[in-house]
Structure 1
């Protein structure tokens, strides 16, 4: 990554995490100076990679409805819960990125939900609003990994665009590790759209309606 894009660690603090199902773990929350987009992204360092192993990383885009309110219209909340435990077991970091609605913001995301209720899929709804299907740029995530000294990682994701962007930004993705399929009756169309439209590695045979 070019020197002008380098970021630096700003502060570190330990935070005990507790989830609704009783799972708990302590994370080191890390903030940064110099992120390209100026947003307040945070890294949660979890576990301790064994010597010689590659850290497991998830880039998780903020989802207020799913992460906080438990919305079943997406799989974001269950993916976040899964990622924290898997990273704590393997050793690595979760990058919590302030990219609500694949980068379009909360209000626009809710507007897109209304269009989905009329029959559009998640990508069609964004386009109908005159917005990008996916507006996320992972430059800041690559900066965060660089500031933490991670130049090679295993990436916990179903999204090939995430690994592609990181590779282009100088982060070696040794392998892409898929998440579990968190299907509900309310998010099947959403998951199918991700698999069929943008090549997410979601097993469609697990999404029987």
Structure 2
């Protein structure tokens, strides 16, 4: 009887040890840590009548494709205006009642209002981008848009952009350029 009890105790101890060992192995085998990457947070705190919304702070305007034959010579446009907007949130008209936007960037040679195409392999030559105000008038870089009367809350400032032939001869290729903008509150 004593021997049977001892055998049962040893067997029970072995089973328990195996179970604990298996549980530990299962726990340690199901968890691992790997390098995942980084998360970058960007923003700013402003002391102004409104805040520019995050979705329009760094936006990409997809201009689409246009045929080279759309241009008729230097200073012609493709007549394919692409709308875009700058959204202002949480506006307080007791601080300012109007807002205007000034765009800036690398101007094409001899064209104060046209953003120069980034040069490089595969890029179009003799073509830039012209920005237009809400009424369709061309905006020169560094010149404020028409002032928009603000309302309390959210406001949208509408613009458009079009391809612009900057040289006597244009060639096909990619068009990539960047404009920065500032909002002035009055």
Report if TM-score (shorter chain) is over 0.5: no
Structure having greater relative contact order (Cα 8 Å, sep ≥ 6): 2
TM-score scaled by length of structure 1? 0.26
TM-score scaled by length of structure 2? 0.28
Tell me which protein shows more helix as a share of its residues: 1
